[in-house]
A and B are shown apart, each in its own frame.
Chain A
């Protein structure tokens, strides 16, 4: 028993692990809550695209010695609103608009990065995450932005619910659907930027989708889905980080794999909806 406690406490002796845990927990919760809308509105592709599209922003910020997070944020918002604008014209479908803008932004990022001769560790951290290198300033930024996102989701719960579930009712009630959709895109962009430090560009989409999909299988109301999703996100971050500490593997990947295990369990055994549950009932 004592050894179990020691096992849990030992990593916390290090300040960098304390910060890492805190950051991972915050990111896990914010990603999982926003992820509910990503899952319900089929925006997984959009989330993945946004994550990759921040690359030019980061590269430019690096070139002008600016703040990388701010650069990422600006790029993500520009691309998110750009996708919204192009697809609203109705000339091409949204997923096509995403494909075009995302590939363009990614290519621009690669061109910029390859032009930087001395491109340093920071950029690879953006790509794969480096939760162990979280600074106190990063922690404040993550906490602040995360809080903004969560508060917006709570305050806009009903408008977001209606524009997601029934756009026709939204129009009947004269909701500013365009504005709300843009707000949701901006919140998604914020979430992605906040998550980069822990899971990196490559794996943000998984943190957005996997805990929310797990919660979807286990709940029947949006509010409960968000709470359960946040719980799974936090738990996956915690467990993943311990695994990464003891097994000495990349932390972002460990977190995502843990979340995936939770999903598979729900996929198989969720009451009524699980594959194994259904097979067993027959």
Chain B
């Protein structure tokens, strides 16, 4: 995969933001009337990359929906840059799970990525040349520039995922949330997503990714947030994955999983350069 150094530097300059800090204090929320998150308190530092793991129904998606303001808080408070959620615009980008989108809608790949610019450049009037070049650059970053004119319904699942990643990039967010980006996608998309994480790191974009892949969480993320409706553990992979926490999060069925997780010979993510 091609990733010219120049494009990366250019992007970093474009993203010369004040560092993002994300804080949750005693956050509780419910989904469909059921309590889904209880008393969540944690903090993500500037440019931190956090893997959110936990069993199905642990509230991972609910957490993201609360963070973008899609679900109301039942208790607690969320601060971004030290200010309550909602006082910032266009600060948080969210890549939803693919089932949540109407793929039969008549829009092209370019149209979808351009939507990421709407919040920034106003809702009326024509997109500027600058918007178009941002869109083109984000398409290129995800390796889908040749798909720009295609209707999104004709793409493969992995390509659709990359369209939504490109749109999130076009939003130039301070905080990027991805819901299960590694589930059910092809190898190229998985690699493109991981490469994107590497590019976001020097740009100090705070990233939270929910995943079922515990090895991925250990190898590729600075921090892991282990969730099962409440916060089980939060910290580096070594701190988080202990036999007790895993049992607390996943219940009895983990014992065979445990051997796989606890084998702890992984190297720091930065030394893991991906060249293809």
Set of chain A residues within 8 Å of B151, measured between Cβ atoms: 220-221
- The contact of B107 among A155, A156, A222, by CB within 8 Å, is A222
Interface size class of A (residues with CB under 8 A): 20 to 34
Set of chain A residues within 8 Å of B93, measured between Cβ atoms: 172
How far is A221 from B115 in the complex, measured between Cα atoms in Å?
14
Contact: B111 with A221, CB < 8 Å? yes
Contact: A221 with B108, CB < 8 Å? yes
Contact: A220 with B68, CB < 8 Å? no
The closest CB in chain A to the CB of B118 belongs to A158
How far is A166 from B86 in the complex, measured between Cα atoms in Å?
19
Contact: A166 with B115, CB < 8 Å? yes
* Shortest distance between the CB of B29 and any CB in chain A (Å): 14
Set of chain B residues within 8 Å of A225, measured between Cβ atoms: 106
A110 beta carbon closer than 8 Å to chain B:
no
Chain B window 90-101, contacts with chain A (Cβ cutoff 8 Å), 1 for yes, 0 for no? 101110100011
How far is A227 from B118 in the complex, measured between Cα atoms in Å?
22
How far is A74 from B250 in the complex, measured between Cα atoms in Å?
57
Given known contacts A174-B86, A221-B111, A168 and B70 CB-to-CB distance under 8 angstroms: yes
The closest CB in chain B to the CB of A224 belongs to B106
Q: 8 Å CB contacts to B: which residues of A184-210?
A: none
The closest CB in chain B to the CB of A173 belongs to B119
A116 beta carbon closer than 8 Å to chain B:
no
- The contact of A172 among B92, B100, B106, by CB within 8 Å, is B92
Contact: A222 with B115, CB < 8 Å? no
Set of chain A residues within 8 Å of B89, measured between Cβ atoms: 173-174
Given known contacts A155-B124, A161-B115, A173-B118, A216 and B70 CB-to-CB distance under 8 angstroms: no
Given known contacts A158-B118, A172-B93, A220 and B108 CB-to-CB distance under 8 angstroms: yes
How far is A166 from B96 in the complex, measured between Cα atoms in Å?
10
* Shortest distance between the CB of A159 and any CB in chain B (Å): 5
How far is A175 from B122 in the complex, measured between Cα atoms in Å?
11
Chain A window 202-245, contacts with chain B (Cβ cutoff 8 Å), 1 for yes, 0 for no? 00000000000000100111101100000000000000000000
Contact: B69 with A174, CB < 8 Å? yes
Contact: A172 with B68, CB < 8 Å? yes
Chain A window 86-126, contacts with chain B (Cβ cutoff 8 Å), 1 for yes, 0 for no? 00000000000000000000000000000000000000000
A164 beta carbon closer than 8 Å to chain B:
yes
B5 beta carbon closer than 8 Å to chain A:
no
The closest CB in chain A to the CB of B108 belongs to A221
- The contact of A221 among B86, B107, B167, by CB within 8 Å, is B107
B102 beta carbon closer than 8 Å to chain A:
yes
* Shortest distance between the CB of B120 and any CB in chain A (Å): 9
Set of chain A residues within 8 Å of B112, measured between Cβ atoms: 165
* Shortest distance between the CB of B177 and any CB in chain A (Å): 9
Contact: A168 with B100, CB < 8 Å? yes
Set of chain A residues within 8 Å of B96, measured between Cβ atoms: 168
The closest CB in chain B to the CB of A154 belongs to B124
* Shortest distance between the CB of B115 and any CB in chain A (Å): 6
How far is A166 from B98 in the complex, measured between Cα atoms in Å?
11
How far is A225 from B101 in the complex, measured between Cα atoms in Å?
20
How far is A162 from B105 in the complex, measured between Cα atoms in Å?
11
B2 beta carbon closer than 8 Å to chain A:
no
How far is A166 from B123 in the complex, measured between Cα atoms in Å?
15
Given known contacts A161-B115, A162-B118, A165-B102, A171 and B69 CB-to-CB distance under 8 angstroms: yes
Chain A window 131-175, contacts with chain B (Cβ cutoff 8 Å), 1 for yes, 0 for no? 000000000000000000000000110110110111011011111
Known contacts A158-B118, A166-B101; 4 additional CB pairs below 8 A are A158-B115, A165-B107, A173-B89, A221-B151
Contact surface of B with A, Cβ cutoff 8 Å: 68-70, 86, 89-90, 92-94, 96, 100-102, 105-108, 111-112, 115, 118-119, 123-124, 151, 167
Contact surface of A with B, Cβ cutoff 8 Å: 40, 155-156, 158-159, 161-162, 164-166, 168-169, 171-175, 216, 219-222, 224-225
Top 8 closest pairs, chain A to chain B, by CB: A173-B119, A220-B151, A172-B68, A171-B70, A165-B105, A158-B123, A172-B94, A168-B96
28 contacts between A and B (CB under 8 A): A155-B124, A161-B115, A164-B105, A165-B101, A165-B102, A165-B107, A168-B68, A168-B70, A169-B115, A169-B167, A171-B68, A172-B68, A172-B70, A172-B93, A172-B119, A173-B118, A173-B119, A174-B69, A174-B90, A216-B106, A220-B106, A220-B108, A221-B106, A221-B108, A221-B111, A222-B107, A224-B106, A225-B106
